[in-house]
Amino acid sequence: MKAAILLILTLLLGLPVSSKGEQPQVKISQQRDGDVIQILAENLSDRSLTITVQIADIHNAKSEGWPTKAVKRCLPGDRIMMTALIQTAGAPPATFTCTVSTSDDAPTSQPVVRATPAPAMPPSGSRVPADAPKKDVPVRLQPVDPAFGYRLPFEHGTSHNVSQGYNGRASHQGAYALDFDMPEGTAICAAREGVVIELEKTRPVQSSDSTIGNFVAIKHADGTVALYAQLARDGVSVAVGQHVLTGDVIGRSGTTGHSNGPHLHFEVGALPECIGVTEKGIRGTIPVVFDIYGATKVTLVVGTTYKAE
């Protein structure tokens, strides 16, 4: 079944979308944070939908890299960001048209692989093979160290630019998160030793029901969790329960989830228990510093290129 409708979106939105005579399937709305205008879709049906949003006739705003046509899967009850615009400074409120179509033939996404409770942290320097049995032993946590120096999350001797930083304009509002620009397929390395507690590797390119797409979540000895997201489909090279050392390759960069191009999304969370870092609406991120060539405890700056040791 497919449905399409043309909407004129203005400041006040919350419009259900459906074919004539049917119950509403999708609710289209917008959310503004400063000059960022996010276009969101909520699945009101009881089945998984593929939602297509095409925006056009844009006035007083620019897409600035965000797609004017977005296609994403949405599970029942989910509310996801489809795309975004940047309001033109000093201009009247932006207006645009939006064509919305839906299809219910999308398969349900693969479940996230989880370990509950998290496996015990092995002694420093040791490794747990991917197929090793998991022991249900609580992690012995150390105090969170806000001054811990993380390694840059890519291979030794390579350099990448920080395209979006903490509380970024496009998608990092309210989050201490970093985006590193890099070609698709670039090796992603662990920025700190830890144990893999969650991952996803089967979500398709730029057609995901998840903001973060494919990802790896690694829990550290102090209970914090590093999230490496927007990875390539089938680009995860570790397993839940596996112990990784700083600098180990854990996956490959991609452009899955809410992404406008190949990059790595990196953030560190400090939620209680630090499990469930991918739950909708829960971030709990903290600012972190990095050890780089010639300096330690560096706060990364947007628009700067950094080289990994």
Question: What b/e sequence results for 81-119 when a residue is b if at least 16 CB atoms lie within 10 Å of its CB, and e otherwise?
Answer: bbbbbbbeeeeeebebebebbbeeebeebeeebebeebb
Predicted pLDDT of residue 23: 66
From 40, 75, 103, the end of a domain falls on 103
Residue 108 lies in a domain: no
pLDDT digits 0-9 by tens, 36-64: 787 888 888 888 788 888 999 999 998 76
pLDDT digits 0-9 by tens, 150-164: 999 999 999 999 988
pLDDT band at 219 (very low <50, low <70, confident <90, very high): confident
Predicted pLDDT of residue 16: 60
From 50, 84, 103, the end of a domain falls on 103
pLDDT digits 0-9 by tens, 157-214: 999 999 888 876 667 766 788 999 999 999 999 999 998 888 888 887 765 456 778 8
Instruction: Answer yes or no: is pLDDT of 274 > 50.
Output: no
pLDDT band at 134 (very low <50, low <70, confident <90, very high): very low
Residues 173 and 219 in one domain: yes
Predicted pLDDT of residue 47: 80
Q: Are 197 and 218 in contact (CB under 8 A)?
A: yes
Residues 293 and 149 in one domain: yes
From 103, 129, 158, the end of a domain falls on 103
Per the structure, the count of domains in the chain is 2
pLDDT digits 0-9 by tens, 89-102: 899 999 999 888 88
Average pLDDT over residues 129-140: 36
**Alpha-carbon gap, residue 30 to 9, rounded angstroms:** 8
pLDDT digits 0-9 by tens, 280-291: 334 468 889 999
Predicted pLDDT of residue 143: 61
Q: Which phi and psi angles does 199 have, rounded to 5°?
A: -165, 160
CATH of the domain at 205: 2.70.70.10
Range of the domain at 30: 2-103
Predicted pLDDT of residue 187: 95
